Amino acid sequence: MTITPNVAGNLALNLRKFDLSGFDPLLKELYQHDKYTYQHSVRVGHYMQRLGERLSLSSDQLEEAYLVGLLHDIGKLRMDKKILQKRSMLSTQELELMRAHPKESVAILKDYNLPDIITNAILHHHENLNGTGYYAVEGANLSLYSKMIRIVDSYDAMTSNRAYRTALPIDAAVHELQNGEGAFFDHELLQKFIATCDYNKRK
């Protein structure tokens, strides 16, 4: 799926609670900075919506979940493109910089007056249930949206072509997610998300 900035709104729900147009400049900037991160963000928003529907979330909650997905990596705007697009393993110092991006996302979004439930999930999108994520926040302190995005963000990263590896087929990505069930990913949410994966397509 090739995604360009002007179609983000088309992929979104018919948003009633939030006006997406306020984020257009940021999203366009992200597209210019790192096309992969932009496209990944739109897909993750789409997966958040899909999982939210499976969880029978309200329409307001679906909008919140979509925005968490769409904006979670906006902090990568402040990261050097060379690190984002590096083909080889990141150095310890580069990894430290990478770990700052959820905090940078929240910093960039500070002026947008988003509800805490959205910004907290963005801050915690790399947290594992067992407390081994970027900021060592344990599952008991993670919100529903944080646990949702941990799954769908990982799924999209695995099923996308990157500079350093080709995309995994869906069944292999699902297998990888299952390997992290309980330690990284919430059991029930993972089952619900897997049920939405279309095994007839590569992605």
At its nearest, how many Å lie between Fe ion and the CB of residue 14? 27
At its nearest, how many Å lie between Fe ion and the CB of residue 143? 16
Size of the site for Fe ion (CB under 5 A): 1
Q: Which is nearer to Fe ion, 64 or 73 (CB)?
A: 73
At its nearest, how many Å lie between Fe ion and the CB of residue 98? 8
Q: Which is nearer to Fe ion, 73 or 186 (CB)?
A: 73
Q: Which is nearer to Fe ion, 31 or 56 (CB)?
A: 31
| SS3 letters across the chain | CCCCHHHHHHHCCCCCCCCHHHHHHHHHHHHHHCHHHHHHHHHHHHHHHHHHHHCCCCHHHHHHHHHHHHHCCHHHHHCCHHHHCCCCCCCHHHHHHHHCHHHHHHHHHHHHCCCHHHHHHHHCCCCCCCCCCCCCCCHHHCCHHHHHHHHHHHHHHHCCCECCECCCCHHHHHHHHHHCECCCECHHHHHHHHHHCCCCCCC
Q: Which is nearer to Fe ion, 6 or 98 (CB)?
A: 98
Q: Which of residues 58-97 bind Fe ion (CB under 5 A)?
A: 73
At its nearest, how many Å lie between Fe ion and the CB of residue 131? 18
At its nearest, how many Å lie between Fe ion and the CB of residue 72? 6
Q: Which is nearer to Fe ion, 125 or 192 (CB)?
A: 125
- Rounded to whole angstroms, the Cα distance separating 183 from 105 reads 25
Structure tokens at 194: 């897997």
Q: Which is nearer to Fe ion, 73 or 127 (CB)?
A: 73
Nearest to 154 by CA among 68, 44, 1, 50: 44
Site string for Fe ion, 26-55 (x = CB under 5 A): ------------------------------
Site string for Fe ion, 160-199 (x = CB under 5 A): ----------------------------------------
Using CB under 5 A, list all residues that contact Fe ion.
73
